[in-house]
Structure 1
């Protein structure tokens, strides 16, 4: 399959000549191995029992090959992490190691965090701007710099965005025919229950309960619904409800597998705003997983049965795209909700120097004054806001008279 360059490639271009060891973290299937393979001279694949057995006997063998050395699925043999860390301490040159992992190490191991030695980069499923559906014309980095040109047109419409939700951002899955793609997504979710969680030290005693909890989480996409509400939604038809401690374990272990990707509440670095809620906004790693858990397709999202989820899943797609672009711009993403609920903003991107871009997501081609009231409020309240944006399903990017940028999601890039 042809390799499509990702936003993280730009980060690797900049960082590999500087950092001795870089870890690509993210859920299975996002393309970590394919990205790292393009840069590696020696590869250790630790999902291969024979190669893992060799390193179990002597993990220091990874130091004896000319770099860059790729250690794929390193979490299957955590001692290699410490070997890398010690080699970095001993003066390993820049670009020496690439490590890929789809889970954090099992609790109880004595692996060092690697802080200050191993640089971690998050790799998510493909953002919309990485899928070559349109040519982005509005740069998030330029928005953060306060110098963005807001222009361009796209032929993508609502149906295209809902198809993008359904097809997923997992490279090997999105390229499959629809019938196969649905089966691959089902298998992906089943494998999490049957293999990935047990391999991570968590035995799933009641798979059907975990699946109900995942469905409840998917139904809460793009909301700050409390975990107690998710627990209530997990109740079976016979009234049986899992224990709270069980669902907390679900959340923690699924997060360690990078399957859950909640958006934290935003706290401005420089203060200036009081009484902001910190409850996370729920997101799965890929909106296609949420759609599949709920039995929704692009077609059913426009029908009465699924229409209520069209907006939240479009926001999930937008959130994925913004987060990928924001990471490339060395920025963090949160959401804003005041304590009394008077003001909400879907995403707040804060740049490395504290500059802020506030973003609303609207499942519509048109934007009215009512849709930008929270953005204008934040701009008036916080001096570091350099731009405000509404992401839409429309055709044209433009600036309103009040300065708010209206940008079709397909035109937003890194």
Structure 2
């Protein structure tokens, strides 16, 4: 592992966000946002003297009845699923203003329906996004190329991995959910299906959306999953969700599904890049679609590892899209530690595209291309070189992420890195 966090529980997998929490230890309050089951509670509660689980009626009522006293009772308090008691947000914010000695960790799996404006915590509550396990956070990988080092402009690129195409297909389908991915294949499939059904049958209604046809929501979500790593229009996604049906759900209804899943952090689109001091005249504003976890996307589409590597035309194309989803998950998690944000670049008409742009707080950029093959060609890298011509020294490194076995730097300066070695 590339992470060196001291874990007291041998079963606990150290996370990139642990590094951030260590570096931000003097912050008065930190909100950790993300979908259910990505490990927010396990990570936060290990750091707390006491935890209130607000998805439990008795603990929610206890805290609501005596909030002023209980919120200053310990050195570090974890408030789990805080959105079930929105008033706790403002109470924490006020305590941070008062400089009380208590430190707060708030975890949330959904944005609250009402009663709080999360922006009201600006300057007081730091927000961190927690996603499923990146490949480099999972057991069995030994990352040798660090994203933080790439920003130096002289990163050493080395390492060998035994990860095969079959291993990447398995990594896509197993999910990055800590309580699921370690399980046997049959149990894992059951747990993934139960996760999806819970979203549709319980989590969505809990957000106030009554779905008359739950199967329509699942079909729309699956169509969105089929658009992973693309900029497909919502109209095409809607048509894909109801093929051959004369009475399709309206676009407004489909966008309602999208919004509610976004509130649950279950969609994780990659925004288009609009750099400051931009030399670009015509960039598309369309985000690149991503489900929060490629394994959930694969399950929604009924894909197995064997189907992905079969090289059947439809499955092979989806394997490429979901492999990019897995790369995106890894680059986002490791990039966040380096204070860098992920976007993508596409000129209008698609003449030039760069799969992932990682821009640090100081404007430095690392650009990534993703290829589902072991060795890239010169043609595969032409857009990386084009970007370098456009932004000059701001582009400090160019990387193509592959399924090969060795990491190395080409004579033209491009780093070739198998995903299993990137961390």
Alpha-carbon distance in structure 1 between the residues aligned to 2:115 and 2:54: 17
Q: Contact 2:133–2:177 (CA<8 Å) still a contact in 1? A: yes
Cα offset, 1:37, TM superposition: 1.3
How far 1:236 sits from its partner (Å)? 4.9
- Structure 1 partner of 2:400: 390
- Which of these residues, 139, 143, 154, is aligned with residue 136 of structure 1? 143
Shift of 1:92: 2.6
Q: Which residue pairs with 2:133 in the alignment?
A: 126
Comparing 37-46 with 235-244, greater Cα deviation is found at 235-244
Contact 1:21 1:117 in 2 (8 A): yes
Q: Is residue 277 of structure 2 the alignment partner of residue 267 of structure 1?
A: no
Q: CA deviation at 1:306?
A: 1.9
Answering whether residue 256 of structure 2 is matched by residue 246 of structure 1, we say: no
Q: Deviations over 1:156-203 (max 9, x none)?
A: 011111100011100000011111111111111111111111111111
Matched, 1:164 2:171: yes
**Residue 58 in structure 1 maps to residue 66 in structure 2:** yes
Match of 2:288, SS state, is coil
Find out whether 1:48 has 2:66 as its counterpart: no
Matched, 1:79 2:87: yes
Asked if 2 retains the 8 angstrom alpha-carbon contact of 1:79 and 1:111, the reply is no
Shift of the 56–205 alpha-carbon distance from structure 1 to 2, 3 Å rule, reads farther
What TM-score comes out, normalization by structure 2 length?
0.95
Count of aligned pairs between the two proteins: 410
Distance 1:46 1:154 in 2: 43
1:7-406 alignment runs, 5 A limit: 7-16=16-25, 18-93=26-101, 96-106=103-113, 108-111=114-117, 113=119, 114-303=121-310, 304=312, 306-383=315-392, 384-406=394-416
Residue 237 of structure 1: how far off its partner (Å): 4.2
Structure 2 unaligned segments of length 5 or more: list them.
1-9
Over the aligned positions, Cα root-mean-square deviation in angstroms equals 1.2
The answer to whether the 8 A contact 1:82-1:112 is kept is no
Contact 1:156 1:410 in 2 (8 A): yes
1:169–1:286 Cα contact (<8 Å) kept: yes
| Structure 1, unaligned runs of 5 or more | none
Take 1:179 and 1:391, find their aligned partners in 2: how far apart are those partners?
Answer: 30
- 8 Å Cα contact 2:90/2:116 also seen in 1: no
Separation in 1, partners of 2:118, 2:383: 43
Q: CA deviation at 1:144?
A: 1.4
Match of 2:372, SS? coil
CA distance in 2, matches of 1:259, 1:45: 21
Once residues 327 and 112 of structure 1 are traced to their aligned partners in structure 2, the CA distance between those partners, rounded to angstroms, is 20
Shift in Å, 1:318: 0.4
CA–CA distance in 2 between the matches of 1:340 and 1:64?
56
- Partner Cα distance (2:68, 2:243) in 1: 50
SS of the aligned residue for 1:138 comes to coil
Distance 1:11 1:112 in 2: 21
Contact kept in structure 2, 1:265 and 1:334, CA below 8 Å: yes
Task: Determine the C-alpha separation between the residues in 1 that align with 2:219 and 2:62.
Answer: 41
Instruction: Flag the 1:151–1:92 CA change in 2: closer, same or farther, 3 A.
Output: same
User: Where does residue 3 of structure 2 map in the other structure?
Assistant: none
CA deviation string 1:233-271 (max 9, x = no partner)? 122544221011111111111111000000000111232
Q: Secondary structure at the match of 1:252?
A: helix
Instruction: Give the Cα–Cα distance (whole angstroms) in 1 for the partners of residues 72 and 366 of structure 2.
Output: 46
* Cα displacement string for residues 352-408 of structure 1 (whole angstroms, at most 9, x for unaligned residues): 110011100000001110110000000111121011000000010011111000000
